[in-house]
Amino acid sequence: MTGNKPLAMITGGSSGIGFELAKQFAKNGFDVAISGSSDKVNEAADALRSLDAEAYPFKADASTYDGVERFWTFTQGLGRPLEAAALNVGIGIGGAFVDNDLEDELRLLAINVTGTVHMAKRVVQHMVKNGRGRILITSSVSATLPTPYETVYGPSKAFGYMFAESLREELRSTGVTVTALLPGATNSDFHANAGMGGTKLGGQQKNDKTLVAKQGFEALMNGIDHIVGGDQKTKRQVLENRTTPEPVKAARQAELTQPQ
């Protein structure tokens, strides 16, 4: 019956990893509130309802204060405590920093950094007041190395990773847990949308987005601080990144991301 299940929020839940995360919640006994930037969010909600979950779609611009706030108000208007939140929405931009449009890069920061902090503030205050909750923040393997030709994107994801780890420690005794998901390159529209379809990285074989979401969901439910999303090769890459000098990592990454 509607209202008896725990409620989860997923930002950017209409496609890619976000939609797969929403499916994980739906399959595991949650109702879901999802946001998306287009009417596709309504189609995603229909698909989620087929998993015996109630789905509440909301179309909003995640790059604006008003867009973030309206989705939070919408979720609160459901009149149910929020038990889990996946702060997943994010975008990428490929290309040389000297050539990229400043407005596009500032929009990326508004979504990946400012919007994450904004929604986290609302979610954390709500959950701490209730004495319980689980928060998943989607970062990236890009948080563990320099990202030339994604020079604004990578640092934005490094922020998300350290933000999650810092927040987790602050909330240790509150009943609220925070988990960071660090996906490797994943089979979604991300690289095409970032203008990187023609790069070596864009053409590489990708991790399965269903697997990545499942790993993230399980880590969240188990209260783990972070999880690398993807296959064993991806996990080994992150381990290697811990000991490889930054200039070496930067040069390797540039070979993959430089426009052809």
Concatenating the DSSP letter of every residue in 70-88 gives HHHHHHHTT-S-EEEEEE-
DSSP 96: -
Set out the domains of the chain in order of their start, with CATH numbers. Answer: 7-257 (3.40.50.720)
pTM above 0.75, yes or no: yes
Task: Report the pLDDT value the prediction gives residue 194, as an integer from 0 to 100.
Answer: 66
Count of beta carbons in the 10 Å neighbourhood of residue 117: 14
Task: Report the pLDDT value the prediction gives residue 198, as an integer from 0 to 100.
Answer: 76
Task: Report the pLDDT value the prediction gives residue 1, as an integer from 0 to 100.
Answer: 41
Measured CA to CA, the distance from residue 139 to residue 120 in angstroms comes to: 14
Instruction: Kindly give the parts of the chain with pLDDT less than 70.
Output: 1-3, 191, 194, 203
DSSP 141: G
In the chain, which residue ranges form alpha helices assigned H by DSSP? 16-27, 40-49, 65-76, 102-109, 115-130, 153-170, 190-193, 200-203, 209-221, 232-241, 246-257
Task: Report the pLDDT value the prediction gives residue 103, as an integer from 0 to 100.
Answer: 98
